Amino acid sequence: MTIIDFLEDNVKKYGEEEALVEINPQKKPEHYRTWREFSLVEPGLAKEYRRSITWNQFEITSNKVANLLLSKGIKKGDKVAILLMNCLEWLPIYFGILKTGALAVPMNYRYTTDEIKYCLDLADCSCLIFGDEFIGRVEPIADHTPNVKTLIFVGDSEVPFADIYKDIIDLYSEKKPNIKLDENDEAAIYFSSGTTGFPKAILHLHKALVSSCRTEQNHHGQKHGDVFLCIPPLYHTGAKMHWFGSLLSGSKGVLLRGIKPEWIFEAVSDENCSIVWLLVPWAQDILDSIDRGDIKLEDYKLDQWRLMHIGAQPVPPSLVQRWLKVFPHHQYDTNYGLSESIGPGCVHLGVENVDHVGAIGKPGYLWEAKIMDGDKEVTEPEEVGELCVKGPGVMICYYKNKEATDEVLKDGWLYTGDMAKRDKDGFIYLVDRKKDVIITGGENLYPVQIEDFIRKHDKVKDVAVIGLPDERLGEIAFAIVEPKDGVKLTEEEIEKFTFDLPRYKRPRKIVIASVPRNATGKIEKPKLREKYIGKSLVQIQIEK
């Protein structure tokens, strides 16, 4: 079985029902409260705000994409890159690629021209499908990527160096191509986040994609009547593999192109969304908007919203506790995973375990986990070691990088690089990234623990802690603290607040500044190290 079989099953069962909806909130004038009001008054403009396809249309489009690619010489085993913002075309293109037997290669929409070229070359891509936002980044390399023979542009602009998707897609057959596939065929290459340099290419089989569907639905119980609101980028395994639960249940997915709290609530209300996956900053923004009175819950239809879950980064317990005070009827879950483990779910908390908020949970459905200290497995509660996971979603390898593969894959176990511990009940807690541990005066400091403490301050929106070199102690903790919007916060206030921490855990330097996060919500600590290491506190204050 491959993931394509799930799509075809939905066509048989739910062909005329909506499969995907794209919401572009910037296309709706503010004076309309709902999409339905907008569509009644200005139906033409409303089509730019809300686009949708049925399961039948999803299948037909993916078949056309497959036949288009086959006509361009794409064959089984080739690699086809996708460089698109979230849009209605994204997933049918992804499935169209898979139907040719080629590998889908999603790319980060923040990549620079050099990174795009690097990834295309690394993955041996022979085709690139890209959107409007990337014309300026793709054009300089259009003639300088020797493996890429075909460029396909998805958008409304005129692009002379590429085939225009909208002009040619309807020339191709609606019939599924006769390409034999099974679960052990190669399916996709995803890229690591590149926090230690250029990204690594992560190779997965079809059975990994199938396993992620089963794991996701087991964890969150998607039924056919559920509606999943997807906001994070589809190039990332997190967003797509959470949507895979909707694929397995034949339920509607909503792609929201925007992260403003009011846009999220309008989409939940208008589209009857029951499941929403958020990143930490978005959840914080929502709660802050409610606190300020910018959002009034009574203005929206929210009773059907049953589950809010968060992943992609450590989740502050204080945030979840605050959320559940505002939304006491919500189920809450957190999901842990890596692109190397086909995304979220190799460890998850479980909606029944809200009393263990702060933990990432226990091994997920079809997964195993252990904690290692060197070559020895950690068995004692509260003892810290490296988290390792094993299951059907573990990558095959880092493509064309045996050395890096051998560092993290050992006897089928994936060594995650995350430091973790178990409590007496067997719940796993992330302590920090292995490479982010700060050693100060011989003591190990775990930045996540300090960050979680500082986030409890009622003026703090976000915080990052990094290590700075120190002649006497080796390293010291340095906290970059971002205040809530419109709130005045001083370094002295944070310093006083941290007096409740053990002395060795207190940040020795503090600055009030913004905290950069990438598209999947992870703090960009390499950027912070580049910005702050080697500078005095006076220089840091001047450059703020």
pLDDT band at 369 (very low <50, low <70, confident <90, very high): very high
pLDDT band at 537 (very low <50, low <70, confident <90, very high): low
For β-strands 413-422 and 409-410, DSSP reports them as antiparallel
Mean pLDDT of 498-512: 87
What is residue 196's predicted lDDT score, i.e. its pLDDT? 47
Give tens-digit pLDDT for 239-255: 889 999 999 999 999 99
Spatial distance between the Cα atoms of 8 and 17, rounded to a whole number of angstroms = 14
pLDDT band at 2 (very low <50, low <70, confident <90, very high): very high
Mean pLDDT of 175-184: 95
What is residue 523's predicted lDDT score, i.e. its pLDDT? 81
Close Cβ partners of 92 (under 8 Å, ≥ 6 residues apart):
53, 58, 61, 62, 65
pLDDT band at 520 (very low <50, low <70, confident <90, very high): low
Average pLDDT of the chain, as a whole number: 90
State the pTM of this model: 0.84
Flag whether pLDDT at 297 surpasses 60.
yes
Give tens-digit pLDDT for 134-153: 999 999 999 888 899 999 99
DSSP 396: S
Flag whether pLDDT at 448 surpasses 90.
no
Whether residue 345 contacts residue 335, with contact meaning beta carbons closer than 8 Å, is answered with yes
| Strand partners of residue 227 | 252
Mean pLDDT of 415-437: 85
Residue located via tokens 């499969």: 19
Report the Cα 28 to chain-centroid distance in Å.
26
Mean pLDDT of 298-323: 87
Q: Could you give the strand order of the β-sheet that contains 150-154, starting from the edge strand earlier in sequence?
A: 163-164, 150-154, 127-131, 79-83, 103-106, 186-191, 201-205, 397-398
Report the Cα 4 to chain-centroid distance in Å.
22
Mean pLDDT of 490-516: 89
Q: What percent of the chain has pLDDT over 70?
A: 94
Instruction: Provide, for the chain, the percentages of residues in helix, strand and coil under a 3-state DSSP scheme, each rounded to the nearest 5.
Output: 35, 25, 35
The domains located in the chain, with CATH, are 443-543 (3.30.300.30)
